[in-house]
Chains A and B, each alone.
Chain A
Amino acid sequence: MGRFILGRLAATLPVMGVVAVIVFLLLRLAPGDPAAILAGDAASPEQIAEIRARLGLDQPILAQFLSWIGRLAQGDLGSSIISNQPVAKLILDRIEPTLALATTTILFAVLVAVPLGVLAAWWHGTWVDRMVMAISVLGFSVPVFVLGYLLIFGFAMQLRVLPVQGYVSITEGLWPFLSRLILPTLTLSVIYIALIARTTRSSVLEVLGEDYIRTARAKGIGETQVLWRHALRNAAVPVISVIGLGIALLISGVVVTESVFNLPGLGRLTVDSVLARDYPVIQGVILLFSALYVLVNLAIDLTYLLFDPRIRY
């Protein structure tokens, strides 16, 4: 198992290497010029060329890549072209809100969706099942920003029980922290509740038709125990896969929610950097995302061991 973990960790290096090359090339081939952005509206072509030269953007792409990869090998992600701040600092400043939102969203989604999915499977074909599936369809269908605005309108503007926007670190108090995460969490978790509930339902339904469930019942085991001990545990692997995928998607996919609720997270940093063609920041953030993807997948693979003793690494 130790070898498996080490092997998987070592595998992140080539993955990130490939990501680095692709991202670097894509950015250089995409339209836009950070020098023109920096120079402003009234700049002459000469002034833009001077800035381009100072930033090293007039060098051949290969030379730019080697320079960047050389610094990266020494752990230096570089500095923002636009703000001059170190990329590592920009990422560290923004990672907390994104991780906080991802954590509360996944926790809330799992706590709501797994019981819903199990109930739907258990009462398969009844009104409970149909209601859970209807909620799922709704969760998939309502755009995040629409739900976000509706929640803001109801809870912040009409009832005035929660703030509209912003983020406060947990170090400044638990309630200020939580109060600003409730609406974004509700907004963002709906789609994951829909996804996890549907997966749980179909997985549990499949397991409930297995021979060993019939055997358990024949042995006189109570229905609750059949469900929780035999059915759910065996249905867990696909559910965990979906949760893992959800975590990975969440970290990079919270842009809209961060914008609607003004959370200063990595999603907004990514979008702002793309719009400003701030190459070093985009490269740094995408490398971080790819590393997180690999690590989350590894964590999910290891979690399988808890639920399925047949799995061996």
Chain B
Amino acid sequence: MHEAIKSGLRLALGLAALVAVSEPRPALAQSKPVTIRAVMHSGLRITDPIITTAYIARNHGYMIYDTLFATDANFKVQPQMVKDYTVSQDALTYTFTLRDGLKFHDGAPVTSADCISSIQRWGKRDGMGQKLMDYTASLDAVDDKTFTLKLKQPYGLVLASLGKPSSNVPFIMPKRIADTPADKNVPEEIGSGPFRFVKGEFQPGLKVVYEKNPDYVPRSEAPSWTAGAKTVKVDRVEWINIPDYQTAVNALINGEIDYLEQPPHDFLPILKGASGVQIFNYNTLGVSGMLRMNWVNPPFDNEKIRQAVLLAVNQQDYLDAQIGDPDYMMPCPAMFVCNTPNATDAGAPKTDLARAKQLLKEGGYDGRPVVIMQPTDLAIVVPLGPVTAQALRKIGMNVDLQSMDWQTLVGRRAKQDPVDQGGWNLFHTFWVNADMLNPVGNVGINARGRKGGFFGWAEDAAIEEMRDAYARETDPAKQAAIAKAVQQRAYAVGMYYPTGQFVMPLAARSSLTGILEAPAPVFWNIAKK
């Protein structure tokens, strides 16, 4: 019966298809380009990966731009566009020489001037870039392929900064484009990366098309994270934005798309059972949630009350609500990410409701409502607010959980005003762990306060001193020791609470092979059968 219905429908629809028989089919006459049709976690609207930290812009950056250095799977920074480099005896002068054959998509060769302008623009936007520029005395071209970076004093994160794998990545652009003011979108999408941006087919928020860059010369080393050979094995990659995940999952199962970057965890059992679909955890480093309190407004301007919050919550509750499946989640007290060189559990609080209540009393909590900004349209963050609200209520806090869309939250969290004038007390967000690996890159540890700190404006001179010490240190063992001390202090003063680590695997058709592990989804090395 089922087959009969199917045949009947096919006949009816086939008759309708006859209408189109006379339509020209140019594609049949030519060899069809091998195309990966991918649905990413968001639509690309801003094409400048320096002006925004949005991960979709970073992913776009990896398609069309290249980097001087890149981080491999062992957390080692490897040369990428750079052929070789030297560091002077006094560790104050870095000299970089570019590889042969580097060419932008407009045909112009990549020069030292392009690299210098790109680093300077990135250094105005990115946290690690700003820190590097603080220590930089000058950036000078020696010749077209060689340039130097001179430091004011030794700085341990020069290569880690230039090879940082996540937002903002120091991508190299032509000088004429990199000279665009750092708060203004670049006017062209020209890089020297493995793919070229097809401007004519770009529809912001809907579709982005990349084609293979035939002039790209990959490195000879095997690919590892964002380092090594970036060998493109398909002709085109199309990013199509499907806002409805159910539709995207159906489209993947039906073979209408090849790649789905981050299907929600609820859909993974369906996808695991679908034929022709593979699940691949490309970002093994994962993602971490963050509970952030506002130090500017009472009651969280009081250290004891912040400590009370840290003792009232626990990661398992967050992960159970957010992810639910133990295969994809891991409680982790390390602010600098578990299983990485700076991982430590130093200072991590253990849930203690009695002590939390005691601290509330000692802190003089007066029962004022705590405004939690609760986004209702960002699925991965949605479960966090109610978990925190429940935990705070358990220790006797008065909670005002205010629902809003994510962009309202983004606008409101920038306000340093009192709560009754549009300010706030607490919000949740999440970060790709590649952004959190050390005290300089981890924005939650930035303790500059109202001037230059991350939203919530935590201010702590001791932490800032230790961050500087970490930046100056060149010995990894000593860096790890400083990171441990930073974490201890950060927990003690309540900088933020990590709500646990989890991974967000991708789903793809089995016809795709060679998908790489990396902190960001990359499309080189992927072949399509």
Contacts and interface: CB of A to CB of B under 8 A. Distances in A.
A66 B43 CA distance: 32
A83 interface: yes
Interface of A: 31-33, 36-48, 50-51, 54, 80, 82-85, 90, 93, 149, 152, 155-157, 159-166, 173-176, 178-179, 259-262, 264, 268-269, 272, 275-277
Given A40-B52, A157-B253, A174-B20, A275 B405 contact: yes
Contacts of B408: 31-32
Interface string B134-150: 00000000000000000
B256 A38 contact: no
B53 interface: yes
Contact of A45 (B250, B404, B414, B443): B414
27 contacts: A32-B408, A32-B411, A33-B410, A40-B53, A41-B431, A42-B167, A42-B454, A45-B451, A50-B183, A51-B183, A83-B205, A93-B203, A156-B254, A161-B6, A161-B13, A164-B251, A165-B247, A165-B250, A173-B25, A176-B20, A260-B247, A262-B240, A262-B247, A264-B206, A275-B405, A275-B406, A275-B407
B243 A38 contact: no
Contacts of B167: 40-42
Closest 7 pairs between A and B when the two form their complex, measured CB to CB:
A33-B411, A175-B20, A40-B53, A83-B204, A173-B23, A32-B411, A40-B52
B45 A82 contact: yes
A160 B2 CA distance: 12
A247 to B, nearest CB: 25
Interface centre among A37, A42, A176 (most CB of B within 10 A): A42
B6 A152 contact: no
A163 B254 contact: yes
B396 to A, nearest CB: 30
B46 interface: yes
Interface of B: 5-6, 9-10, 13, 16-17, 19-20, 23, 25, 43, 45-47, 51-54, 125-127, 167-168, 181, 183-185, 203-207, 240, 242-244, 246-248, 250-251, 253-254, 256, 377, 404-408, 410-414, 416, 429, 431, 443, 450-454
Contacts of B125: 47
A157 B405 contact: no
Given A31-B408, A37-B410, A175-B16, A44 B451 contact: yes
Contacts, number: 158
A174 B23 contact: yes
Contacts of A149: 246
A33 B415 CA distance: 10
A261 B247 contact: yes
Given A41-B429, A83-B205, A277 B411 contact: yes
B452 A44 contact: yes
A163 B414 contact: no
A122 B404 CA distance: 51
A44 B456 CA distance: 11
B243 A262 contact: yes
Contact of B204 (A37, A50, A82): A82
Contacts of A277: 407, 411
Contacts of A155: 9
Nearest to A262: B242
B410 A32 contact: yes
Contacts of B256: 163-166
B36 to A, nearest CB: 16
B250 A152 contact: yes
Given A164-B250, A173-B25, 12 more contacts: A31-B404, A31-B412, A41-B429, A41-B443, A42-B168, A83-B45, A157-B253, A157-B254, A161-B13, A260-B247, A262-B243, A264-B207
Contacts of A93: 203, 206
A260 B452 CA distance: 42
Contact of A90 (B204, B207, B247, B431): B204
A200 B42 CA distance: 44
A276 B405 CA distance: 10
A176 B21 CA distance: 11
A31 B16 CA distance: 49
